[in-house]
């Protein structure tokens, strides 16, 4: 009897539990809100609205399944934005106003330094080297002695030419005296008129003798001066340098002078920028040794290099202390003019959803995105083009907003005052 009572009680509890479950909802997980949800009684009956489900619904004990108010495909963040709508607070950002200003357009060139000229001082006459006045690496100025050749008989030749000139001048004085005396005698009628021709010829010959003697003296002095070989340009002495006792013929080198002031930078202008290149442009040259100097473009070739399609160019730079050496690798920045641009801090640059580099601004409390082009990178910031003349650039919070979004913008000045107060 007690067993029958226990089985009956258990069967009653089972019926009650089954009835309660039948009024609930069966959820097939992982399909999102509104998907996979249906009454348990429908699963038991095998159809959506069976007789039992209808009876339970009429009795008001069957769970109701309203249609979801939001799209189940939306993410949680998108659902929150949809449900909150206009009631959500606006995203706060900080902006700073940037105004377009003249932006220097600079073209970088790579190349090397080169001496202005390499001049070989040669002997202009033959002779043995008596004295060498310079050594390799020594700095010389125009007119400094380099080598002295043995004078030999050249000094005697000068003395002889001087004596010849004195003799010619004495003959000229005598011929002039004879000419003047004959003219006086002819005026008084003492001398015949046909004697004038003889004294005229004698005077002319005496003048020619003086001119010839002067030329001989000049030649003798020039030959003597050629024994002193001097620098025709300023620079540093390099090999080859003659040695004392060596025999030099006309054209033989005494010393080689490298002209280092001014120095020349040689580089190549890309064909994309050749239309902007011209002589007289300012340039800044920086060598691999850390030296920086300003110069000007002095030459641009009209013919491109057949291999690189670039145009050879030269920039002349001062080098008074000879600190810049010949053949040093260097880079030149040529300033070819200015154009409107904005100098921005690098931190304001961002990417849009397509990976385009640009800047986010605020216009009438709405975010706008402008693709930009970086022209140059400096210590003060990056020069860019592509922005309006006046742009309120988002400096804080640009990664949290998107184009077309309404935001609450606070200019940097106002934010700074609020923080200070």
pLDDT tens-digit map of 67-78 = 555 566 555 555
Whether this prediction's pTM lies above 0.85 is answered by: no
Question: Tell me, which fold does domain 91-101+340-420 have in CATH?
Answer: 2.40.420
- Provide the percentage of residues in the chain whose pLDDT is more than 70: 77
pLDDT for the residue 35? 55
Q: Of 24-33, 91-100, 325-334, 336-345, which range is least confident?
A: 24-33
What are the E-state strand segments in 66-144? 91-99, 101-122, 127-132, 139-140
Picking from 69, 67, 65, 66, the residue whose alpha carbon sits closest to that of residue 39 is 65
pLDDT tens-digit map of 311-339 = 999 999 999 888 899 999 999 988 887 88
Average pLDDT value for the chain? 82
The ranges assigned to domains in the chain are 1-87, 91-101+340-420, 151-226, 253-338
Q: What would the mean pLDDT of 372-379 be, rounded to a whole number?
A: 86
pLDDT for the residue 397? 87
pLDDT tens-digit map of 233-264 = 899 998 888 888 888 888 889 999 999 989 99
Residue 416 — pLDDT band, cuts 50, 70, 90? Answer: very low
pLDDT for the residue 421? 41
- CB hemisphere CA count around 407 (13 angstroms): 28
Picking from 312, 400, 367, 392, the residue whose alpha carbon sits closest to that of residue 109 is 312
Task: Phi first, then psi: give them for residue 173, nearest 5 degrees.
Answer: -65, -40
Residue 197 — pLDDT band, cuts 50, 70, 90? Answer: confident
- Provide the percentage of residues in the chain whose pLDDT is more than 90: 30
Q: What would the mean pLDDT of 207-226 be, rounded to a whole number?
A: 89
Would the pLDDT of 276 be above 50?
Answer: yes
Would the pLDDT of 25 be above 80?
Answer: no
Domain 151-226: which CATH number of 1.10.287, 1.20.950, 1.25.40, 2.30.29: 1.10.287
Q: What would the mean pLDDT of 157-164 be, rounded to a whole number?
A: 88
Q: Of 18-32, 41-55, 208-222, which range is least confident?
A: 18-32
Written as six digits, the tokens of 158 are: 């000068």
Would the pLDDT of 130 be above 80?
Answer: yes
Q: What would the mean pLDDT of 111-117 be, rounded to a whole number?
A: 92
pLDDT for the residue 258? 92
389 or 43, which is more confident: 389
Cβ(277)–Cβ(315) below 8 Å: no
Would the pLDDT of 120 be above 70?
Answer: yes
pLDDT for the residue 195? 78
Distance CA 341, CA 386 (A): 8
Residue 274 — pLDDT band, cuts 50, 70, 90? Answer: confident
65 or 302, which is more confident: 302
Q: Of 39-43, 326-330, 394-398, which range is least confident?
A: 39-43
Residue 80 — pLDDT band, cuts 50, 70, 90? Answer: low
The architecture of the domain spanning 253-338 is Beta Barrel (2.40)
Distance CA 332, CA 324 (A): 14
Determine the 3-state secondary structure of 357 from DSSP.
strand
Distance CA 151, CA 223 (A): 9
Would the pLDDT of 46 be above 80?
Answer: no
Q: What would the mean pLDDT of 193-212 be, rounded to a whole number?
A: 86
pLDDT for the residue 391? 93
pLDDT for the residue 9? 66
Would the pLDDT of 224 be above 90?
Answer: no
Written as six digits, the tokens of 232 are: 């025709």
pLDDT for the residue 4? 66
């Amino acid at each position: 009897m007690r067993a029958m009572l226990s089985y009956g009680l258990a069967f009653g509890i089972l019926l009650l539990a089954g009835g309660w479950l039948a009024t609930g909802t069966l959820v097939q997980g992982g399909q999102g809100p509104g998907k996979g949800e249906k009454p348990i009684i429908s699963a038991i009956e095998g159809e959506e609205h069976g007789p039992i489900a209808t009876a339970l619904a009429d009795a008001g004990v069957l769970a109701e399944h309203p249609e979801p108010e939001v799209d189940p495909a939306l993410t949680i963040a998108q659902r929150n934005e949809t449900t909150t709508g206009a009631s959500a607070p606006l995203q706060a950002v900080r902006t700073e106003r940037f105004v377009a200003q003249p932006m220097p357009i600079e073209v970088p060139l790579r190349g090397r330094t080169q001496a202005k000229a390499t001049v070989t001082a040669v002997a202009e006459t033959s002779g043995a080297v008596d004295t060498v006045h310079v050594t390799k690496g020594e700095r010389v100025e125009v007119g400094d002695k380099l080598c002295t050749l043995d004078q030999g008989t050249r000094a005697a030749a000068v003395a002889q030419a001087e004596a010849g000139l004195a003799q010619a001048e004495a003959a000229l004085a005598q011929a002039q005296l004879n000419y003047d005396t004959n003219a006086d005698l002819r005026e008084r009628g003492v001398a015949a008129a046909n004697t004038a021709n003889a004294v005229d010829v004698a005077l002319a010959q005496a003048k020619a003798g003086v001119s010839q003697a002067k030329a001989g003296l000049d030649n003798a002095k020039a030959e003597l001066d050629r024994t002193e070989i001097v620098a025709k340009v300023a620079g540093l002495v390099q090999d080859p340098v003659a040695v004392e006792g060596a025999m030099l013929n006309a054209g033989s080198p005494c010393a080689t002078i490298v002209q280092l002031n001014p120095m020349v930078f040689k580089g190549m202008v890309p064909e994309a920028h050749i239309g902007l290149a011209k002589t007289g442009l300012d340039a800044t040259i920086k060598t691999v040794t850390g030296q920086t100097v300003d110069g000007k473009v002095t030459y641009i070739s009209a013919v491109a290099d057949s291999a690189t399609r670039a145009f050879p160019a030269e920039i002349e730079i001062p080098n008074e202390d000879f600190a810049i050496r010949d053949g040093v690798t260097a880079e030149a920045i040529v300033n070819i003019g200015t154009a409107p641009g904005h100098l921005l801090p690098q931190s304001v640059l961002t990417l849009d959803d397509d990976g385009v580099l640009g800047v986010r601004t605020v216009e009438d409390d709405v975010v706008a995105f402008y693709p930009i082009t970086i022209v140059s990178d400096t210590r003060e910031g990056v020069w860019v083009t592509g922005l309006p003349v006046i742009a309120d650039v988002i400096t804080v919070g640009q990664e949290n907003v998107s184009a077309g979004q309404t935001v609450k913008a606070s200019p940097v000045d106002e934010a700074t005052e609020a923080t200070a107060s």
